[in-house]
Amino acid sequence: MLQLQRQNDIMELLKKEKEMTVKELCSALYCSPATVRRDLSELEKKGLVKRSFGGVLLNESFFDQQPLYVRGVKNTAEKQRICAKAAKLIKAGETVFIDASSTTYFLASHLKDIPDITVITNNPHLNIVLSQMNVNNYCTGGKMLNSSVALVGSEAERFVRGIHADSFFFSARGFCDGRISDSSKDERDIKIAMLKNSEKHYFLCDASKQWRAYPYIVADKEQTDVIVVREQNDEADADFLKTNL
Residues 87 and 187 in one domain: yes
Mutual orientation of helices 33-45 and 22-29 as an angle, nearest 10°? 110
Q: Which of 45, 63, 81 is the last residue of a domain?
A: 63
Residues 13 and 128 in one domain: no
Q: Give the pLDDT of residue 243.
A: 43
- When comparing pLDDT for 135 and 53, which is higher? 135
Residues 209 and 110 in one domain: yes
Q: Which of 29, 63, 97 is the last residue of a domain?
A: 63
Categorise residue 116: left if φ over 0, alpha if ψ from -120 to 50, beta otherwise: left
Tell me what the mean pLDDT of segment 162-173 comes to: 96
Residues 110 and 221 in one domain: yes
- Report the range out of 47-56, 72-81, 181-190 with the highest average pLDDT: 181-190
- Where is average pLDDT lowest: 34-38, 68-72, 206-210? 68-72
Q: What is the pLDDT confidence band of residue 3, given thresholds at 50, 70 and 90?
A: confident
Q: Give the pLDDT of residue 75.
A: 64
pLDDT over threshold 70, residue 234? no
Tell me what the mean pLDDT of segment 114-121 comes to: 98
Query: What's the rounded Cα separation, in Å, for the pair 185 and 153?
Result: 10
Average pLDDT, the chain: 84
- When comparing pLDDT for 30 and 156, which is higher? 156
**Nearest-10 Cα torsion for 236, 76, 83, 238:** 0
Residues 25 and 7 in one domain: yes
Residues 154 and 206 in one domain: yes
| CA dihedral for 112, 102, 220, 197, sign (positive or negative) | negative
Question: Structural domain of residue 9, as residue ranges?
Answer: 3-63
Query: What's the rounded Cα separation, in Å, for the pair 161 and 167?
Result: 14
Strands (E), 13-139: 19-21, 49-52, 55-58, 95-98, 118-121, 136-139
Tell me what the mean pLDDT of segment 90-114 comes to: 94
Residues 170 and 212 in one domain: yes
Tell me what the mean pLDDT of segment 151-175 comes to: 96
Burial of 140 (0-12, 13-18, 19+ CB in 10 A): buried
pLDDT over threshold 70, residue 70? no
Q: Give the pLDDT of residue 95.
A: 98
Q: Give the pLDDT of residue 74.
A: 57
Q: Which residues 6+ apart lie within 8 Å of 80 measured at CB? A: 106
3-state secondary structure of 126: helix
What is the domain-level CATH number for residue 102?
A: 3.40.50.1360
